Amino acid sequence: MEIKYQLKPAAERRSEQFCPEGNVGFGRLRTDHMFMMDYYDGEWRDPRIVPYGPFEMAPGAMALHYGQSIFEGAKAFMHEDGEIYTFRLNKNAERMNRSADIVCIPNIDEAMQLKAINALIDVDRLWFPMQDGACLYIRPFIFATEDRLSVSPANRYTFCVVMSPSGAYYGESLNAIRLLISKEFHRAVSGGTGASKAAGNYAASLRAGKAAVAHGASQVLYLDSTNEYIEEAGAMNHFHILKDGTVIIPEFTDTILKSITSQSIIELAPLLGCDVRQEQIKLDDFIAGVESGEIIEAGGFGTAAVVSPVGSYIFEDGRVVTVGDGKVGEHVSRIYRIFTEIQKGHRQGPQGWVCKVPRLEKA
Ligand SMILES: *Cc1c(COP(=O)(O)O)cnc(C)c1O
């Protein structure tokens, strides 16, 4: 499908590369344009790039009432050649369709998703923020627009992509966070929607996030609904590292979101020079391992931070368990460095992980 360009007049668009003073932060800014495409009468239609701005939507739009809405999150980086490169965007497109399946949203051809995002980055490439560690954060999402108040899959949807010029996640160095081990709140149950980036999952996590903050933690370590196994660290996959450097990530089940960062770490094991394994992890075994010193580091994997080291855990009764010396460990730092070097093009990663955004003729 051909993408239609309805661009802002040149005078209203950014005309020089974005060189912000100071860190632009995460997710605050927007670029000049967005991509949109609609689904009705059984097909995705009318792909277009339009000025960033409000939607017109019926108050009865089903996404607003029943939460039929999903999203993705990806990053693009500028390399030394001045070109912009996406990082494993094909994996995001693939996962968008898995999320779509879980909440009965029609799939979008992966190639079309990639074409849409590449075209949008190309149009707004001057918005790439020229600062150390910066990226263009890409947010594709799909939501039900049909004006109908019965609970059933909608017949109309919009696919939209917006972008946010974002600054480095960390300042000088990584910092360690504390997680609340919650036996009260759960993120997902088997047979539910935990394996999708469905909007409602994140609304459902807010209360647990507030409880974490009340305990002086920044996020929740979610357990499975029997409180026996470790699942996720907020909106990141959880991991820990043994004395011998082995990285262990909970096995992907239908209650764990398949993180592209985690999958990448698994594939990078040879380059990282360590074993990376997935297994079911009992909370009790994990805590015993941390206390005995068998487990020396832990953290979360996700696109926003890449790696978020965990320095300590707190239980709901106030008991604190510290990992190693509670500071950022060597292994985590090395993983972070190698991963971000690949993203920034300072190091060769596996074939096809970084893809140059083509410069197109705008019809
Ligand atoms: C998005 C997300 C992750 C991280 O996935 P990445 O593809 O690495 O960004 C992990 N867990 C949850 C619940 C998420 O929503």
Cut 0.95: pTM above it: yes
CA contacts within 13 A on the Cβ side of 353: 20
Three-state SS for 275? coil
| Average model confidence (pLDDT) across the chain | 97
Residue whose CB lies within 8 A of the most ligand 1 atoms, among 87, 88, 237, 255, for a mutation test: 237
For the CA of 92, the closest atom of ligand 1 is 7
Residue whose CB lies within 8 A of the most ligand 1 atoms, among 222, 259, 306, for a mutation test: 259
Pocket of ligand 1, beta carbon within 6 A: 73, 197, 232, 235-237, 257, 259-261, 301-303
What percent of the chain clears pLDDT 70, i.e. is strictly above it?
Answer: 100
For the CA of 303, the closest atom of ligand 1 is 9
Structural domains in the chain, sorted by start:
4-168 (3.30.470.10), 177-344 (3.20.10.10)
pLDDT of residue 171: 85
Query: Per-block average pLDDT, block size 10, for the chain (363 residues)?
Result: 96 97 95 98 98 98 98 98 98 98 98 98 98 97 98 98 96 93 97 98 97 98 98 98 98 98 98 96 98 98 97 98 97 97 98 98 73
Give distance in angstroms: CA of 41 to centre of ligand 1: 32
Find, among 138, 148, 229, 136, the residue nearest to 183 by Cα: 229
The Cα–Cα gap between 151 and 129 comes to 43
Q: Which two tokens stand for residue 329?
A: 């460990």
Counting every residue written for the chain, the total comes to: 363
User: E strands along the chain, which residues?
Assistant: 4-5, 33-40, 43-51, 69-71, 74-78, 84-87, 135-144, 157-166, 177-182, 219-223, 230-233, 236-242, 247-250, 276-279, 295-302, 306-315, 320-322, 354-356
